[in-house]
């Protein structure tokens, strides 16, 4: 019988891509509670498989490898790809070609749900004095944000055409603690990250839903009301770190685009020629 968890969520085989990255390493230990077998994939070393794990490296731009990766999988948590701003060509291969391969393989293997790690950089050119929700137009702040916008549009297409459900997580800043004043608005704890992923996997009906990944911070730029059906309830808050963050960064340069826009430093990176 599949493993069970107090949430009622249970899978026979769950795939985690990008398992060697920062959030992938964190979720690797946490997602085992929700499945019999956790299949792990990345192009970076993953170490030996622990009990209940399978290691299956795959480059996302390799369609055949991704097709094999999705074999006998019930659901996917897709963190794989390039996670920072940079030149277009590598982002094209890993994040755009790669996610097409993932969705095609999921369609062919009959996978019914994907949790896609999108990014707040899909809307990075909204200002920090605005509160937005996922129904507002995308305003990517770079090639990375553009690639995640493509991924969200691809997810919508695969739901409309094939009924493959996705929750796109516009993740803010998930670290042990917020590093600067921007992160007082964008921060999400690792425990809340787990809650968000589990809610996205277990919500009965999601179609293609978009939800911002943040904790219960007092200062926030993103309204998740349209995604209330996901059932995500953050329990942590950046407020516990506010005093020390403001002491480290007592003033802001309001003439700096990185201070003006929600995407922070991403809005000023490039060109890369």
Q: Given a cut of 60, is residue 5 above it in pLDDT? A: no
Confidence of residue 2 (pLDDT cuts 50, 70, 90): very low
**Contact (Cβ atoms closer than 8 angstroms) between residue 232 and residue 199:** yes
Summarize pLDDT for 21-54 with one digit per residue, the tens.
999 999 999 999 999 999 999 999 999 999 999 9
Count CA within 13 A, CB hemisphere, residue 48.
2
pLDDT at res. 7 = 60
What is the model's pTM?
0.96
Summarize pLDDT for 134-146 with one digit per residue, the tens.
999 999 999 999 9
Whole-number Å distance between alpha carbons of 75 and 246 = 41
75-78 vs 11-17, strand pairing mode = parallel
**Contact (Cβ atoms closer than 8 angstroms) between residue 2 and residue 14:** no
Residue 6 in domain: no
Q: Give percent above pLDDT 90 in the chain.
A: 96
Summarize pLDDT for 50-94 with one digit per residue, the tens.
999 999 999 999 999 999 999 999 999 999 999 999 999 999 999
What integer is the mean pLDDT of 140-156? 98
Q: Could you list the residue range(s) of the whole structural domain that residue 217 is in?
A: 11-268
pLDDT at res. 239 = 98
pLDDT at res. 162 = 98
Residue 140 in domain: yes
Whole-number Å distance between alpha carbons of 88 and 231 = 35
Whole-number Å distance between alpha carbons of 149 and 8 = 32
Residue 46 in domain: yes
End-to-end CA distance of the chain: 54
Q: Given a cut of 70, is residue 4 above it in pLDDT? A: no
Residue 3 in domain: no
- Catalytic residue numbers read 144
Confidence of residue 170 (pLDDT cuts 50, 70, 90): very high
Strand order in the sheet with 11-17: 53-55, 35-41, 11-17, 75-78, 113-117, 165-171, 208-213
What integer is the mean pLDDT of 175-180? 98
Q: What is the number of structural domains in the chain?
A: 1
Confidence of residue 1 (pLDDT cuts 50, 70, 90): very low
The reply to whether omega before 109 is within 30° of 0 (cis) is no
pLDDT at res. 197 = 98
CA 8 to chain centre: 23
Residue 1 in domain: no
What integer is the mean pLDDT of 93-110? 98
| Mean pLDDT estimate for the chain | 96
**Contact (Cβ atoms closer than 8 angstroms) between residue 134 and residue 98:** no
> H or E segment at 41?
strand 35-41
Whole-number Å distance between alpha carbons of 43 and 273 = 26
Q: What is the DSSP letter of 128?
A: T
Q: Is 104 helix (H, G, I), strand (E, B) or coil?
A: helix
CATH value at residue 89: 3.40.50.720
pLDDT at res. 9 = 80
């Amino acid at each position: 019988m599949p493993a069970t968890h107090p949430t009622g969520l249970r899978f026979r085989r769950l795939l985690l891509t990008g398992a060697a990255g920062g959030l992938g390493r964190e979720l690797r230990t946490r997602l085992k509670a929700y499945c019999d077998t956790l299949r792990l994939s990345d192009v970076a070393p993953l170490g030996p498989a622990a009990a209940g794990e399978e290691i299956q490296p795959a480059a996302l731009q390799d369609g055949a490898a991704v097709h094999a990766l999705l074999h006998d999988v019930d659901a996917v948590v897709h963190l794989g790809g390039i996670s920072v701003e940079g030149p277009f060509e590598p982002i094209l291969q890993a994040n755009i070609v790669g996610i097409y391969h993932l969705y095609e393989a999921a369609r062919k293997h009959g996978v019914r749900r994907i949790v896609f790690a999108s990014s707040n950089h899909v809307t990075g050119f909204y200002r920090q004095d605005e509160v937005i929700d996922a129904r507002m137009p995308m305003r990517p702040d770079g090639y990375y944000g553009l690639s995640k916008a493509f991924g969200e549009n691809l997810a919508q297409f695969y739901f409309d055409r094939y009924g493959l459900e996705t929750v796109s997580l516009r993740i803010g800043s998930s670290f042990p603690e917020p590093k600067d004043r921007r992160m007082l608005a964008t921060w999400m704890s690792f425990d809340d990250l787990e809650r968000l992923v589990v809610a996205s996997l277990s919500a009965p009906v999601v179609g293609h839903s978009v939800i911002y990944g943040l904790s219960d911070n007092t200062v926030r730029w993103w309204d998740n009301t349209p995604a209330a059906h996901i059932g995500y309830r953050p329990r942590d808050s950046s407020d516990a770190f506010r005093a020390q963050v403001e002491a480290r960064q007592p003033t802001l340069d309001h003439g700096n685009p990185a201070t003006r826009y929600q995407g922070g430093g991403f809005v000023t990176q490039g060109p890369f020629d």
